[in-house]
């Protein structure tokens, strides 16, 4: 029968040997993941860089001193108070994108490249913000980002660091500056509103004046056309009347030229004379007549110009009757 103490000792020695073997293997075998790099020192001095894969080291002679991730990393730069060119205090917050391109320089060129890069970014950011005014800092972020990336990349080149880009997340002015900016924006909006309103009123007045002008032009054209139409109508009427008068005169002339035409004209003139003479006697209160009725008879004979005596006697009788009636009214 085996001694229990010997069994325990055997188990202890077996576990110890397994542990020593595992420790020995861990000392001599190294597996480097993808996108990583291990810096190996031999007797405290840089020996080589282990890339992705399986590697064997000499225990107690060689050791992995630094492990670096070669993937691009994002560094959140703490907010930094800056003074702009116009002496306005603002707080700038940004993000820096970088990666290691030379693991040896990143290991021996600087103690802590992340901290150093963050501090360098903050310093460069304060310097670049001091070159521009506050109003331009909001609209020229691309220029600021480019300037910061260029300055930090050149300064971090000895460290084996490549800065790819920098992005400003936020630019926050102080509370008093924000209130002043809000007032300025409000005033600018009110100014634009007033300008737009005045321009609208001006356009409305221009449109109204153009409408009034067009209306006046149309009314004047209509009045002109009306007068032209009236004038043309009057001219046509005169032309028609003149034509009718000329036609009537021609008819009268033709009638006079016929036999007994002149006698008819004389008879017509005598009739009109007697008629008008009677109207005068009837309308007047005082009548002046020739004392010798023969004068009227001779006048009528002159008008008749050789018409038959019976007609002459008839006209004279009418004249005498007019005289008698006039005398009776006078009495």
Q: Is 212 a member of any domain?
A: no
Q: Is 222 a member of any domain?
A: no
Q: What's the rounded mean pLDDT across residues 65-89?
A: 88
Same domain (yes/no): 57, 100 = no
Same domain (yes/no): 77, 56 = no
- Higher-confidence residue of 326 and 51: namely 51
Asked which of 173, 190, 219 is the last residue of a domain, the reply is 173
Q: Is 202 a member of any domain?
A: no
- Rounded Cα gap, residues 51 and 105, in angstroms: 15
Asked which of 155, 173, 191 is the last residue of a domain, the reply is 173
Q: Is 103 a member of any domain?
A: yes
Identify the pLDDT of residue 307. 47
Q: In which band, very low, low, confident or very high, does the pLDDT at 289 lie, cut at 50, 70 and 90? A: low
Identify the pLDDT of residue 13. 65
Instruction: Judge whether 128 and 147 are in contact, CB under 8 Å.
Output: yes
Beta bridge partners of 99: 162
Identify the pLDDT of residue 95. 92
Same domain (yes/no): 49, 108 = no
Number of structural domains the chain divides into: 3
Q: Is 196 a member of any domain?
A: no
Same domain (yes/no): 77, 65 = no
Q: Is 58 a member of any domain?
A: yes
Identify the pLDDT of residue 326. 47
Same domain (yes/no): 324, 307 = yes
Same domain (yes/no): 47, 135 = no
Q: The domain that contains 100 carries what CATH number?
A: 3.30.479.30
Q: Is 18 a member of any domain?
A: no
Residues 217-233: tens digit of each pLDDT: 988 888 888 888 888 88
* Residue 322 domain boundaries: 261-330
Question: Which of 172-176, 273-277, 288-292 is predicted least confidently?
Answer: 288-292
Same domain (yes/no): 313, 269 = yes
Instruction: Judge whether 69 and 100 are in contact, CB under 8 Å.
Output: yes
- Rounded Cα gap, residues 305 and 302, in angstroms: 5
The reply to whether the predicted model has a pTM over 0.75 is no
The whole-chain average pLDDT of the chain stands at 78
Question: Which of 179-193, 258-272, 313-327 is predicted least confidently?
Answer: 313-327
Same domain (yes/no): 315, 272 = yes
Q: In which band, very low, low, confident or very high, does the pLDDT at 104 lie, cut at 50, 70 and 90? A: very high
Asked which of 173, 206, 234 is the last residue of a domain, the reply is 173
Same domain (yes/no): 48, 101 = no
Q: Is 38 a member of any domain?
A: yes
Token reading at 238: 């005169």
Same domain (yes/no): 43, 128 = no
Identify the pLDDT of residue 25. 65
Same domain (yes/no): 42, 114 = no
Same domain (yes/no): 99, 32 = no
């Amino acid at each position: 029968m085996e001694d229990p103490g010997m069994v325990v000792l055997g188990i202890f020695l077996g576990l110890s040997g397994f542990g020593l073997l595992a420790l020995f293997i861990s000392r001599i075998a190294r597996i480097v993941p993808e996108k990583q790099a291990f810096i190996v020192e031999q007797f405290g001095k840089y020996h080589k860089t282990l890339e992705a894969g399986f590697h064997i080291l000499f225990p107690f002679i060689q050791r992995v001193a630094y492990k670096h991730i070669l993937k691009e990393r994002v560094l959140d730069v703490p907010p930094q108070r800056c003074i702009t060119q116009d002496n306005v205090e603002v707080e700038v917050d940004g993000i820096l994108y970088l990666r290691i391109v030379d693991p040896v320089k990143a290991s021996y060129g600087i103690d802590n490249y992340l901290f150093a890069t963050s501090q360098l970014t903050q310093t460069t950011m304060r310097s670049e913000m001091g070159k521009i005014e506050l109003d331009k800092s909001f609209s020229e972020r691309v220029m600021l980002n480019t300037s910061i990336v260029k300055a930090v990349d050149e300064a971090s080149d000895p460290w084996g660091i490549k800065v790819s880009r920098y992005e400003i997340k936020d630019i926050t002015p102080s509370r008093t500056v924000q209130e002043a900016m809000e007032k300025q924006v409000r005033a600018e909006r009110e100014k634009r509103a007033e300008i737009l309103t005045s321009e609208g009123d001006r356009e409305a007045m221009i449109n109204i004046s153009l409408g009034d002008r067009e209306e006046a032009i149309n009314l004047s054209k209509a009045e002109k056309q009306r007068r032209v139409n009236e004038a043309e109508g009057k001219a046509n009427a005169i032309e028609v009347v003149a034509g009718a008068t000329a036609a009537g005169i021609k008819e009268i002339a033709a009638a006079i030229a016929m036999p007994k035409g002149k006698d008819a004209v004389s008879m017509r003139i005598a009739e009109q004379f007697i008629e008008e003479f009677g109207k005068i006697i009837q309308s007047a209160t005082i009548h002046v007549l020739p004392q010798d009725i023969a004068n009227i008879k001779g006048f009528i004979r002159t008008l008749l110009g050789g018409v038959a005596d019976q007609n002459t006697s008839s006209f004279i009788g009418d004249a005498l009757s007019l005289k008698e009636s006039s005398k009776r009214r006078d009495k």
